[in-house]
Structures are given as structure tokens and as C-alpha cells.
Structure 1
């Protein structure tokens, strides 16, 4: 019963992603199997036609009489040439059906792979930020790249398994119609064999689940190692990471080895078991039941094919179990990601014109650890420049995540131009935001494409080229770009590895200035810059005053002297607010202490 439940379960999963078209595969499979079994069964009247005296109708089985009636209706019952021609036509038809079946399976597989990768990537693009931070990059890469590929190949194994099921039933059914005693014995032995294989299938499926899980673990370690290559290599601290990778590889290859041993056992059993079974059953049929030779010969061929198909059915099911972990992981991941999709409002925002307001906003990542932000009440008028300062862990970055709607207040409200954040169409809001974070986001592409994000070819579009260069000049990046070998067409490498830290940051800022946002968020945007570059960037930021809303998170307080308002945060609360000069000279001000510590 467990095997049937597994088949039904995987059938539903495939149906979920492929649709009803998959049933055409089964129709073609049944037609192919019937044509093949029927073609072999036609050997019986061929043998009888070759004999000088054919058997009397009284001694024929029902199947033999039906075949004889069909051939007589066609006018070829006593013609070996006619019967041979009919057999040839049947097998040509079977070949065409098999070709159609294989071609259509290939089409469905390619569509399945395309749909799975696209839908999963789209789902990842819309997943809730909190779900994202609870996972690791290696897990996502493993699912969308490796596990989806295994899911894709599992459908081929599943289709092959069902093909062998239908083929086996077809062969046994035709053999049963010719000589039922012989067939009953063979089917009984086949059922015993199938029962023995059940335990092997459970073992293989468990190995598949462990293999899929281990691939996520290995991917996580590999991503971490490659992303941290410079640090690990320069400090010679790769030993622990290497031992983790080595141990993960050992477990993974051990699971694969055990899967291959199980597959080799099934393959090795296939031929000898089939031959021994057929020989033994024929000996019993001839010596005990004294049955005629011609039906036994045809039944022999059918059962030999049937036993081969039965073992192949086990191989197909085992191959499917090899990939069961991937099927389950991908299906579970789809359910998880869809369950954690960002809630989307329907109100499309016009360009920011009034304010961003918090009303008693509270947020916590884990309720047991207490809130990260508590009772935030503040208003940021449009086209003003504000700064948030405070020690690490004060809640500044979390507050920014609320502004971008990556996180939602658990209590209280965030209002954008008076509209609650849970009612906002997120794309209409985020398309207005430029965001420069401490972690530079640079793509392995040209300088130009990193600034305009593939908006076009600057060599062919003069207006686009001017916009890109203007954004670079405003970010004080144009001079170093011009010094690169290929200028704006220079490829910067993975995560901008061919640029210095300050150059990457200026390139990042240039991209956000190119976007011409209504809200520009600068999260320690100048922390990686030298003093001169920081001064130029600061001049660019100051030039934006009144043109757009600018929200700055800063530890270096010298960069916020010209902002309209400063908010001082401590333990998730705004404890002071005012202009730079007002807070700087206020008695017993926390901000004043911070300024004095930096000797400003």
C-alpha cells in the first residue's frame, strides 16, 4: 500500500507543475505497450500457419480463437506472408507510438524545467524578507539549481516506471490469455519479487532525502568559503571550513555510493532471475501439464519480456526514489515560499509629496527577545534630509527596513503620504527608493551596466550615456572610471573584486543617483571612502537638499552637519530629535557626548 501511496503522491506533485497534459504520456504509453504485446502474440498464429496441420478450434484458447477470427476477417489466416506483413505493420505502428511518447515526454520535461526554475525564481523575488534572513544562500542555490534539475530528471524516471508498469501488465495479460496456468505461476513469482523490492525502495528513498539535505549543507559551506576567500586565504584560517567541506563531501558521496550499490544490485538481478524463472516455469508446464509447445513458446517470449519489464519497473521506481528527496524538497520549498510571500496592497503610490510617518510603531524579530523598535513616533516631511544616529544595535537599520516595507510594524503604523504600509502596492513605492548600504552591491558586468542596470547600450544611446556619466560625476566616480582600461565598458568582476572598496561604494552611489529616486537612503554610504572622496560625496548629498527626501544612517557625525533633522536612537527608541546645532549644544545631550567622543 505504501508504494501505491507514493505513486499517487508523486503523481499529484507532477500534476501540480505540469498539468493535465501529462496524462497524454500515459495514453501513449498504454497504446505502445498494447501494440508491442499484440505484435508478439501474433507469433502464435504465425507458428500455427507454418505447421502442416493446425490445431482444431476446440483445443484453442479464447485468445487464439479471437486472433484466428481477426486474421480470417482480414483474409490472411492461412498466409504466412500476410501474417508477417501484419506483424511488421503492428511493430511499425508501435515504433511510431514510442517515438511520439518519447518526444512528448521530452517536451514536457523541458517545459517542466523551464516552469520550475522560472516560478521558483519569481517566488524567491517576492518572498518575505524575514523568511529570507532565516535561510542561507547555499540553500536557495541548491534548491533552484541542483534540486530542480533532479526534480526534472525524476519525471523521466517516473514516466519510465509507469511505462514499464503498463508494459508488464500488457505482456502478462496477453500471456494469460494464451495459457493461464503458466501465467498464474509467473505472476505469483513476480508479486513475491515485487514485495522483496519494497524494502529496498524505502531504503533508497531515505538515502535520497539525506543526499538532498546534504547538498544544501555543502552549498552553504562552498558559498561561504568563496565569498570569504580573500579573508580566509590572507589569514590562513581555512582549516575549519575545509574540514567541514570535506566531511560534507564524504557524507554526500557515501549516500551516492549506497544509492549506486542498490541500483547495481537491481541491474545484476535482472537477466539471471528472468531466465531462471522462465526455464523453471516452462519445465513445469511441459512435464506436469503437458501443454502444447506453440502457445508455450509465445508465452515464453511474452513472459521473458514481461519479467524484463518487471525488473525495469523496479529500476525505474528505484531511480525515482533516488530523486525523491529532490521532488519533496522542491515541492516543500514551493509551499514554504508561497506561504511566506510578501503581503501586497493595492494602493499605487504617486511620487512622494507629503511625508513618511511612524505612529507608535513596534517591531521584534523574535518576541522572546523583546522588541527591536518600540513606540516609534516621528514624521519625515518630503524633500527633507534627516539622519539617524546611535550605537550599533540601536535599531537604525531595522527602522530603514520598515521604511522600505521589507519589514512591517507588528504594532502601530507606517504611513506613506497618509497610506498605511499594508495597503501599499510595494512596487509603486520601492521604485521610488534609492538605497546605498554598507554592503556594496556590484554585479559582475561592465561599469555602465552596473550604473544603469542594463537600461541599454551607452555606445548606441547618447542620452543614456550622458545620464550614466552625469551620475558617475555626481558620485565622484567618473575620474577613476576614465582611468580604467576600457572606461565605462570595463568589467568589474564578481562583486566588484577588481575595484577598491571606495571605488565600489562610489559606483554603488552612482547607480542610485542614476535612478533619480524620490527617497534616497544612505546607510553608512561613505564609510569606505577616503577623506577627499567623502567630501565630494558629501557635497553631492548636500546638493540634493530640497530635490528629494534623503534618509541617512551615520556613525561619522561629520557627514550630517547639514541635515534638516537628527534623530538619536537608543535601545530601539528615539530619545532625542532636533537640528545638528541644537543637539550639539544642548546640555546633557546624548548627541553632544557622541560629537565630543569624535572630537568634532
Structure 2
């Protein structure tokens, strides 16, 4: 949607209705039908006051309006023509029916709201899980949290406001229509006043919509700042630098609360003038009816009641529309995000890949994140046979981690081809390949759960499944963390805290390694996997990796010689190009080898 503040927001009502209809279908219009039933029931109950008042003031059957005459004939046909008690019971039944319609409308709306919340959050989560890595890296964590948590919540609240708007429109039409039928001059004046009021609020509506958009944007900015502050809390607190972030956070908070305060003031203005305006207009119209037009009292009294309800509904339209506009920024952000995710969905191939059986091959691969930054990989061709261990070495920025992202098909080459068992990467069903990969990165990935669940990733309940628990223990032993776990009071049921904060850096890394070994992958990628470990732990894990030699395919990125000494093959990269390759010993012993110089300088 355009953010042009000069555009009349009323023109966008059909668009917002279509947005909700996309997720809920035509069923949401049943709410309006139930609201129509409630308005008709109440309107009929109010109209029944007309023959009652005419009987009380002595006009009887000499009804001054066609509506009064019709109602009198209806009561006479029912045998209630002279029964005030019967008319009162009729009125009571009408309002009881109104209550039933309102209950049905409210209950059904609650069900649709819950369904809409499930639909939006589930769709966002599924779309996020399938988004391309490039789109993920172009956003910050605060953006994603803001959309799926904050703005998705506001999205369904906006639906509630929009349904309230529709109900208010229906109620207004019914009340003013009945007022017009009872005393057409009265109804005409009420209609004109109602239209004028809505026109007067147009500028306020545009103002509230723009505040909503600014507020949504600021919510995302604040979420990003808070997440960064909390993730870096230890460093910022230890070095006394929280104040740098506080300035930015407080600036965002002041802007956000300013937008919210101005929106609240606009709501308060609309609510405050609602009753005074209604009373003033009623007094003016009654004076005109009695003094100028000399109309009878009974229809005027009924019209007053209908007009009061009708004008209240007109202002209710304004209140509901203003409430919707206060949330329209959230609706637009969620819709825009879903559209962006559809454009940046990770392409999936049709071919279901079986277990890795031959090799992984790169042919003439080039890759650039953006044209401005230049190529990160330049004409890289290599082959990794099954059950071989290879090392990717080179200075920082040589393109090693990017190459790994291409091996996992997280990134697609800008030129060239990736072949898994001879099948082009763009033809492969991604899940069938990635399920075969174990990946241990420099940045540990640990979840706020038990040690057992961190290793098996909720494959089952290890406390109730002895076979599963034994697999978890075996992985822990392979990662040389079993002794530490078993020394804890709760053992494998111990909670590790947010991002594993209750563990040391080395323990977190070993827990990470244990998870990937539990998976029993066909391809194990180690990206500086032992960089955070002490020498003893590093040697233990290296022994575990060496034990896998000949059983699975291993790709290692490392700078430390001890990690790659026993690999079958080494690929040396420099500024995105593959400059050397060969067995470890052969490259190390070659006189003119770049790899030999790197070993000598201990820059591996």
C-alpha cells in the first residue's frame, strides 16, 4: 500500500477487507450478517415503542406515520392491539433476539480471530524456514521477531477492529433507515449530519494512519537494538559500554512512545466528543421538529431514540475506523513481509537425493554477494570423493566459508555448477540433501533446554526411551563431554540456559559436536570446530574425527595444523581462487608450495 498521507483512507477499506478474506475466506462476512440480525432485532424493538407511545398519548389508531399504522395493524392481527403488556413482551423478545445475535457474532468472531492468528504465525514461520539465505542475511533478527511476534499480533487485532467497523456501518444504516421511515425529515437531517461528521474526521484518519506506519517501523528498530544489546550483554557490561547502546535505545523509545501518545490523544478526542455531539444534534433536530414543523410527539420520541443510536453508530464507525488505521501499519508490514518471502523463497528441486554414494563436485563456480563487492569465489573446480576427508585452507576472506555454504546449497553459484552424486544442485530436493549434513560452525548453536534434547534435537524423550538415551550417551562420549555431563546432579536432564550460558565455551562446542555426531551424517562439515577448545579437548575431538575417517565424508575449514594433519586432501585458496591442491604431505614437502609457507608461518 502507498504511504501517501494525502490519500483518503476510506478508499482503502475494500483492500483491507480483501487482505483478511485472503486468509479467512468469505466466512468472515457471516459476522456482518449476524450484526445485521442484531441491528434489525433492536430496531424492531425500538419501533414497537411507537404504537405504545401513541396509545399512551391518545392518538391510538390515528397514526401520523405509515410505520405506526403498519405496526398497529400487525399488533391487531396478533390480538395485541390494545395490550400494552403484550407490546412490552414483544419488545423484550426483540431485545432477547438481539442478544442472541450479538453472542453469535462475538463468539464466531473470536473463533475467526484465533484461526487468523494461527494462520498468520504459522505461515510466517513456514515462510521464514524456507526463505533464501540471502534474504535472511539482508535483515536483522529484530526485524523477524518484530514481524512474527509484535506485528502479527496487531494484525489480528486490526481484523477485530475491521469487523467492528463493518458492524457499525450496518447498525448505522439500520437505525438511520428506520428513523427515516418513522419521520423522514428527521431521518434526512440525521443522515446529513452523520455524513458531515465522517467528512470532518478525514484529516484525523490520515494522521492516525501515518502514526501507525511510523510506530511499526520504530518497533522493528527498537527490537533490533534490544536484541543486539542482550546478545552482547556480557561484553558491554564488562567493558562499561552499555551507555552507547542506551542512547540509541532511549531515542527509539521516545519516538515510539511519542507516536503512541499522539495516537491515544486522537482516540480520546473521538471518544470525548461522541456523546456531546449526539445530544446537541438531537436537541437541535427536536426543536426543529416541534417548533418549525409541528410534528406529533410519539414519532419524534421514537425517532430521537433511533437517531441517538444511529448517530452513536456513526461515531462508532469513526472510532472503529480510527482503531483500524491505528493498526494498519502492522497489516501492511505483515502483508509486505509475506510478499517479500514469496519473492525470496528458496527454490527447491524435484529430485529426491538418496544417501551420498559417489562424490560432491564443483565445476567452474563463481559467486558474488553483490556486483559492487566483486566475486568471492572465482572459477573454483574441485571434487570431494565419498568417505574422504578434505581441508579447505587459506587466509581470512579467501572464500572458504562461502564455499561451504555452496556445498550445503544455502547459496547458489552466480555461475558454474554444484553436483551431488552427479545431480545438479538446482535439481535436488533440498531437504533430502541437508538431512545428510552435519555442520559444526565457529559460532556454537545451543538451545535453552536439557543436554539430552540439545544432542538429539527433540527426536524423542530420552528419559523414557533407553535406546535413545544410549545413542545420546554414545554421541557425548565421542565428543568427549560425557564425563562432564554425568558429573552433573541431573545428568542429561540438566538445563543449559539461554544459548548455553551455564556451560563454558569449550563445553558448548563439545555439546555442539555431540549433536552432529548423534545425527550420523554422510557429510560432516567442521568450520573452525575446535577453535574454542583447550588442547586436551581438541585432541580428544580430533581423535573422534579421525575415527570417522573412511566412514563418512569430512570437510574441514581450519587454521590450526593439528586439525588437518590427517586429512586425505588439501585445497588451498587465495582471494577466492583455488591456487593449490594435493595430499597434505605432498603440499607440505613441495619447495615452492604456498601451503608449505603457511605451515612454516603457522598461519594454518
The aligned residue for residue 585 of structure 1 is: 589
Q: CA deviation at 1:61?
A: 2.5
Q: CA deviation at 1:70?
A: 2.4
Question: Which aligned runs of 4 or more in structure 1 are off by greater than 6 angstroms?
Answer: none
| 1:516-551 deviations in Å (ceiling 9; x for gaps) | 000000000000011111111111111111100001
Q: CA deviation at 1:53?
A: 4.0
1:551 to 548, 552, 555: 555
The aligned residue for residue 25 of structure 1 is: 31
Q: CA deviation at 1:510?
A: 0.2
Cα distance between partner residues in 2 of 1:459 and 1:99: 47
The aligned residue for residue 413 of structure 1 is: 417
The aligned residue for residue 80 of structure 1 is: 84
Q: CA deviation at 1:382?
A: 0.8
Q: Is 2:345 aligned against 1:341?
A: yes
Q: Is 2:467 aligned against 1:463?
A: yes
| 1:91-138 deviations in Å (ceiling 9; x for gaps) | 111110010000000110111111111111111111111000000000
Equivalent position SS for 2:26: coil
Cα distance between partner residues in 2 of 1:237 and 1:564: 47
Q: CA deviation at 1:4?
A: 3.5
The aligned residue for residue 186 of structure 1 is: 190
The aligned residue for residue 34 of structure 1 is: 40
| 1:290-328 deviations in Å (ceiling 9; x for gaps) | 011100000001111111111121111111111111111
Q: CA deviation at 1:52?
A: 3.5
Cα distance between partner residues in 1 of 2:192 and 2:460: 69
Corresponding residue pairs, total: 598
| 1:242-294 deviations in Å (ceiling 9; x for gaps) | 10000000000000000000001001101111000100110011111001110
1:7 to 5, 9, 13: 13
The aligned residue for residue 353 of structure 1 is: 357
Cα distance between partner residues in 1 of 2:489 and 2:497: 14
Q: Is 2:562 aligned against 1:561?
A: no
Cα distance between partner residues in 2 of 1:3 and 1:173: 26
Cα distance between partner residues in 1 of 2:585 and 2:369: 35
Q: Is 2:478 aligned against 1:474?
A: yes
Q: CA deviation at 1:68?
A: 2.6
Cα distance between partner residues in 1 of 2:594 and 2:603: 14
Equivalent position SS for 2:554: strand
Note if contact 1:396-1:553 (Cα within 8 Å) is conserved in structure 2.
Answer: yes
Q: Is 2:53 aligned against 1:47?
A: yes
The aligned residue for residue 203 of structure 2 is: 199
Note if contact 1:386-1:565 (Cα within 8 Å) is conserved in structure 2.
Answer: yes
Note if contact 2:61-2:72 (Cα within 8 Å) is conserved in structure 1.
Answer: no
Note if contact 1:405-1:426 (Cα within 8 Å) is conserved in structure 2.
Answer: yes
Cα distance between partner residues in 2 of 1:214 and 1:488: 42
Note if contact 1:49-1:79 (Cα within 8 Å) is conserved in structure 2.
Answer: no
Cα distance between partner residues in 2 of 1:298 and 1:312: 21
The aligned residue for residue 208 of structure 1 is: 212
Q: CA deviation at 1:65?
A: 2.9
Cα 1:322–1:365 shift into 2, 3 Å: same
Note if contact 1:165-1:313 (Cα within 8 Å) is conserved in structure 2.
Answer: yes
Q: CA deviation at 1:442?
A: 0.2
Equivalent position SS for 2:418: strand
Cα 1:170–1:53 shift into 2, 3 Å: closer
The aligned residue for residue 253 of structure 1 is: 257
Equivalent position SS for 1:375: strand
Q: CA deviation at 1:488?
A: 1.1
Equivalent position SS for 2:395: coil
The aligned residue for residue 501 of structure 2 is: 497
Q: Is 2:11 aligned against 1:16?
A: no
The aligned residue for residue 596 of structure 1 is: 600
- Give the alignment of 1:377-392 within 5 angstroms: 377-392=381-396
Equivalent position SS for 1:20: helix
Q: Is 2:517 aligned against 1:513?
A: yes
Q: Is 2:160 aligned against 1:156?
A: yes
Give the TM-score taking structure 1 as reference length: 0.98
| 1:550-593 deviations in Å (ceiling 9; x for gaps) | 01001112210110100001111111000111110112211111
Equivalent position SS for 2:161: helix
Give the TM-score taking structure 2 as reference length: 0.97
Q: CA deviation at 1:415?
A: 0.5
Equivalent position SS for 2:378: strand
Cα distance between partner residues in 2 of 1:599 and 1:377: 24
1:451 to 451, 455, 462: 455
Q: CA deviation at 1:185?
A: 1.4
- Give the alignment of 1:258-407 within 5 angstroms: 258-407=262-411
Note if contact 2:393-2:573 (Cα within 8 Å) is conserved in structure 1.
Answer: yes
Note if contact 2:9-2:206 (Cα within 8 Å) is conserved in structure 1.
Answer: no
Q: Is 2:91 aligned against 1:91?
A: no
| 1:351-395 deviations in Å (ceiling 9; x for gaps) | 000000111111111012211111111110011000100111111
Equivalent position SS for 2:201: helix
Cα distance between partner residues in 1 of 2:585 and 2:65: 107
Q: CA deviation at 1:599?
A: 8.4
Cα distance between partner residues in 2 of 1:73 and 1:361: 90
Cα distance between partner residues in 1 of 2:476 and 2:9: 63
Gaps of 5+ in 2: 1-6
Cα distance between partner residues in 1 of 2:603 and 2:436: 37
Cα distance between partner residues in 1 of 2:316 and 2:402: 57
Equivalent position SS for 2:443: coil
Note if contact 1:355-1:379 (Cα within 8 Å) is conserved in structure 2.
Answer: yes
The aligned residue for residue 580 of structure 2 is: 576
Q: CA deviation at 1:464?
A: 0.9
Cα distance between partner residues in 1 of 2:464 and 2:404: 38
Note if contact 1:35-1:91 (Cα within 8 Å) is conserved in structure 2.
Answer: yes
Note if contact 1:384-1:545 (Cα within 8 Å) is conserved in structure 2.
Answer: yes
Equivalent position SS for 1:344: coil
Note if contact 1:50-1:80 (Cα within 8 Å) is conserved in structure 2.
Answer: no
Cα 1:456–1:18 shift into 2, 3 Å: same
2:170 to 160, 163, 166: 166
Aligned-residue CA RMSD in angstroms? Answer: 1.2
Cα distance between partner residues in 2 of 1:247 and 1:363: 39
